[in-house]
Amino acid sequence: MKPRAVALGILYSILVVLFIWISVSLGKVKPPSCDEIFSYYHSKGGNYGEFIEQTESGFNRMPPFYFLVTKAIFSEQNFIFKCRMLSLAFALLNLFLLYKISRFWHNFDTSLLISLVCLLASPYFLEYAIDARPYALCLLLLTIFIYKILEFEQRKEGGEISKFTLFLVCFLLPSSHYLYGISALFVGLAHVLMTGSSRWVIFKIYLLSGLAFMASHISIFIEQQKFGNLLMMIDFPTFEKLGTYLLGFFSWEIAVAMALFTIFLFIGRNRWSPKQMDSTIRLIQIIFALLITFFLGALSTTIFPKSIWFLPRYYLGTTLIFPFLFIMLFSICGTKVGRFYNLLIIGTAILCGGLLLNRYKHKKYFYENDRLHSYRSFPPREIMTTNLPVFTKDIILFSHYIYAGKNIYYLNPDVDLLTRIGKFYPSHKNYMKSEISEFPSILLNIGIGSPNRIEGVEFTPMGSEVGPIHRAFHLRKI
């Protein structure tokens, strides 16, 4: 191997090791989010007989695949950290798959540059690489799907194994998260339009995959929709928010550096001769499919504001647009290796490493500062040791407290809602109450701000705070 290739390999290896070290370190100090707590209880909150009821309750409105897998392979001890490390493994595999995609067009060092720098500079990619949720898995499956499509078309004739792989990955995408079925749909349609094989054969693969998914999930999906929106608040995608969201998928600093690459390669080209033009056009079609998925998600949220949320983690495939764009541009311009080219590679890799360290510094401070987390603070000693019944009307707060080891009651007049939440938390179903009359004469209420007025009840503020936005009140029935 040439000394240049060895030197670049060492440089990129340092970048990957830095990414792993930062991810593991942050994974240890990151406080559990409410979504990660839902993952814990969905996977480990009941036995296998109760698992289907937990899924159908709609409290954690997701397909069962990811939670069934984590239930089978992980124990309760350090469950959330183990799931974060599983997400990190998915992220590393995603880096490798993106490198393999880039190799269809480019050499070793250019492919590593695109795969590592473009993804490791993406805030959303880094965020969900240490999240105990299925989003890193969804992005990996989407990358595998695109890789298999490009490989299938590169070989011109796909065998039965290749066809079954396309069927399986297309099935697993919505099975990991319902909204990634949209990504599977548009990328699959792009494949049908671009294919050099029989369009009917490709269409039939994806049609059968979609029918198999619906047949196995339709009853669960319909049952889950009866729960309603958990937080009853929708993130409306205004133009300003869309711009903010898009910046979360890539780093503008890296975008400038990669733009310098493009300019350098364009000036140095001898002729306009794109390498593997057919493959480049296919990649452009996939880029458009990912863009349509993102903007359709934003549009559907505006049309159905009471039913669909718009959150960037549902559209992580947008993260792939940035590296795919540079794969395409570099392919059109051609690769010209020289001293300035090497300096650009080294400089961009160092810039990426600096961005990773800067993120680590800020995230570590954020994770370790309790005052920055609305639901982060564990119950203070007065609440942990009190013999009084403690209740809350905040289901997110309830989830955090029982995860911290303090059994508190959840009060809600909606009996059907309590029944569904009780199915999700089978070991805590006796802590679901619909009326305050079910409690003793003196109890403790925890919530945001002052408690709602309840006839015949006197409220006295508790002396100490229980969190940045939460307060505790002694209640006494008059």
Mean pLDDT: which of 214-223, 275-284, 305-314 is highest?
214-223
99/118 Cα distance (integer angstroms): 11
DSSP state of 369: -
Taking the alpha carbons of 347, 349, 350, 356 in that order, is the dihedral positive or negative?
A: positive
Beta strands in 207-269 (DSSP E): none
363/405 Cα distance (integer angstroms): 26
Cα torsion 91, 96, 101, 103 to 10°: value is 150
Decide if pLDDT at 232 tops 50.
no
pLDDT of 244-280, one tens digit each?
666 667 666 666 666 666 665 555 554 444 445 667 7
Angle at 384 between CA 383 and CA 386, to 5 degrees: 60
Residues 390, 443 contacting (CB under 8 angstroms)? yes
Side chain identity at residue 344, one-letter code: L
pLDDT of 326-353, one tens digit each?
888 777 766 555 666 677 777 778 888 8
Residues 4, 341 contacting (CB under 8 angstroms)? no
**What pLDDT does 28 receive?**
92
Side chain identity at residue 451, one-letter code: P
pLDDT of 388-445, one tens digit each?
788 888 888 888 888 888 888 888 888 888 888 989 999 888 888 888 777 776 666 7
Strand 470-477, strand 442-448: pairing: antiparallel
pLDDT of 145-190, one tens digit each?
999 998 888 776 667 888 899 999 999 999 999 889 989 999 999 9
Extents of the domains making up the chain: 3-30+61-368, 381-477
327/291 Cα distance (integer angstroms): 16
- Residue matched to tokens 């469950």: 79
Residues 150, 338 contacting (CB under 8 angstroms)? no
CA distance from start to end of the chain: 84
If one counts every other C-beta atom within 10 angstroms of the C-beta of residue 306, the result is 8
Which residues touch 395 (CB under 8 Å, ≥6 apart)? 230, 410, 412, 421
**What is the chain's alpha carbon radius of gyration, rounded to the nearest angstrom?**
25
Mean pLDDT: which of 32-41, 329-338, 342-351, 360-369 is highest?
32-41
**What pLDDT does 60 receive?**
84
